[in-house]
Amino acid sequence: MLLRENRDHSSGYGHAYNINSPAFEVQSGLDQTVELILVQVANQPFGLLMKQVYNIARPEANLFSVKSQPDPANGREWAEIFYQGKTLSVLELASKLHLTPAEPLDTSKILLSGQFVPGGTIQQPFGVSVDDIIGVCHIGLDHLRLLDDWVCRKRLGRLIWGVALVGRETLTHHNGSGELQPASPFSGIISETGPLPGQVQRNKNGRIAPAPTGSSGLEDRSRVKNNLPEEQPVMLLDLEILRATLYRS
Amino acid sequence: MDNQFQSLSPHPLTEAERLIMELERRAQALQEDQEQEPLVSLLTFYLSDEWFALPLEKIKVVTRIMDVTPVPGTSPFILGVINHKSAIYPLIDIHQLLKVMPPEPTRSSRFVILQHDKYTLAVLVDNMGEVREVKSSDLDKYVTNHRGTSIFISSELTIDNRLLGLLNLGAILNTVSEGEIQPQTRPKD
C-alpha cells in the first residue's frame, strides 16, 4: 500500500498550492518516497515534511537573535526573533507537544516555515524551535502509517498526523552519543522476556526441554535484535497546523 | 395354556409403533441438543494477581514485550505505540482503570494485540493464562459495583473457585480515549 500526495493544483491566478498539506491519498503500485527532516525534541525524534520547511536558523551562525520570549500570561504563546532584518514569530515545538524542551530558545535550532504560494513567495512565515536536528531522510510511502484518531487527537488536534517507520541507524545521533530514542518503559527487560507458550521447546517425551546453556553471543544478539525491530516509529508533525494556530490567534 | 402363554408374552410391536418410538427418541435427542448452549472461548490473563479474560475471537496475537515509542499528548492510559511486524499499534495500560496496582514489567509481561470494532490496539498484561471455554449464558452475570470498576467488566465468572472478570473493551476504550469513541453496549451476544 502506497500513498500519494494529495495536491490541489487548481488552476487560476491567486490560488495557493496546497503542497504543504500532509494529507495523502492511498494508492497502490507507485514507488514514491517522501523527504523528512528529523528533529529532536525532549530527547525524542520527530519527523517533519521537508517541503514545509524552507530554511533552518542555527544559533551558532548568529542568524537570529531573540527579541522576546513567550508570554502566555498575556495570551502570547510565541516568541519573537530578529531574522534577516525582520521580526519572526517562533513557536516552541516542545510546549506544543506538552513536552519539556532540552534547549532554551537562544540555543535551539529554528525551522522556518510558512505558506508557499506560486511565484516562490512565502506568506505567513513563522519559526518552530527544536532542540536539535538529526538529519534528512527519504522514507518510502509504504513506511508511513496513520495514527488512530483516538490516540492523541483530543489534545493535540491534527498536529501529529501519522507515524514513519525509520531505520534505527538513521536515528543514530550525529555526535556519536548513541541511538536517539525516547525512554521506553520496557527498555530494561526487552531482551529478558521469556518465550511464548507456543514457542516452548518440547522433547520427544513431551516434556519441556531445558533452555540451551552456553549459547553464543551471536544467538544472544539475534534474540535482542528480534525484540527490537529494525525500524523505529517516529511521530510525524504537520507544521501547517501550527501556522494556522499562530495566525488565527 | 396356550392362550395364557400368549397373553403373558410381550405384545409384539407393530411397524407403526416402532416408528413412533424412533421418532420420539429422535425428537428428545434434538431437544437435548438444542438445550446445550454454545461455548465461548476466552483468553485469560493476569493483571497483578487478578484474573481477567477477553473473547478469544478478538485476539490477533500475543507478543513479548517490545520497544514502546511514547506519543505526546495522549491519555495517561496510553503508553505509546509499538511496531509489531511493521504495523503500528497503540499500547494501553489498564491497571489503573481496573484499580490494580501495576507491578514492574517482568519476563512474564506480554502485549496482547486485539481487534475491537475497527480499532486494533495492544494491552499490557502481567502474565498469560490459558484459554477457557465457558457457556454463553455464564457471560450474562453482570458485576455488582465494587471498587468502581464494574463498567470495565462485562461479566464475572467463577472458575475453579477463582473469580474471572471478562473485560468490557468498549467501556475501556471509551475511557482511554476520553470520549472520542462512542460508548459501546454490553456484549450480551
Residue entry with cell 503542497: A19
**Chain B residues with CB-CB distance to A230 below 8 A:** none
CA distance A182 to chain B (A): 7
pLDDT tens profile A89-130: 999 999 999 898 888 888 889 999 998 888 878 889 999 999
Residue A10 has pLDDT above 70, yes or no: no
pLDDT for the residue numbered B8 = 54
Identify the closest residue of chain B to A154 by CA–CA distance. B180
Whether B126 has a pLDDT exceeding 60, the answer reads yes
CB-CB neighbors (< 8 A) of B87 in chain A: 145
A184, A232, A237, best to mutate vs chain B, most B CBs in 10 Å? A184
Mean pLDDT in chain B?
Answer: 83
Q: Which amino acid is at A166?
A: V
B180 burial class (0-12, 13-18, 19+ CB within 10 angstroms)?
middle
ipTM over 0.95: no
pLDDT above 90 (res B141): no
Which of B62, B81, B85 lies nearest to residue A163, judging by beta carbons?
B81
pLDDT-derived band at A194 (thresholds 50, 70, 90) equals low
Whether the per-residue pLDDT at B1 is higher than 60: the answer is: no
Please state the φ and ψ torsions of residue B91, each to the nearest 5 degrees: -110, 125
- Look at residue B48 and tell me whether its pLDDT is greater than 50: yes
CA A52 to chain centre: 13
The pLDDT tens digits of the residues spanning B86-112 come to 999 999 999 988 889 888 888 899 999
| pLDDT at residue A19 greater than cutoff 90 | no
Cα–Cα distance for residue pair B112/B178, rounded to 1 Å = 22
Q: Please give the residue of chain A at the shortest CA–CA distance from B77.
A: A151
Average pLDDT of every residue of chain A: 74
* Percent of chain B with pLDDT strictly greater than 70: 81
Q: Are A181 and B93 in contact (CB under 8 A)?
A: no
What are the DSSP E strand ranges found in chain B?
39-47, 50-55, 59-64, 68-69, 78-84, 87-92, 110-116, 119-125, 127-135, 153-159, 162-167
List pLDDT tens digits, range B73-85: 888 899 999 999 9
For the purposes of burial, counting CB atoms within 10 Å of the CB of A62, is it exposed (0-12), middle (13-18) or buried (19 or more)?
Answer: exposed
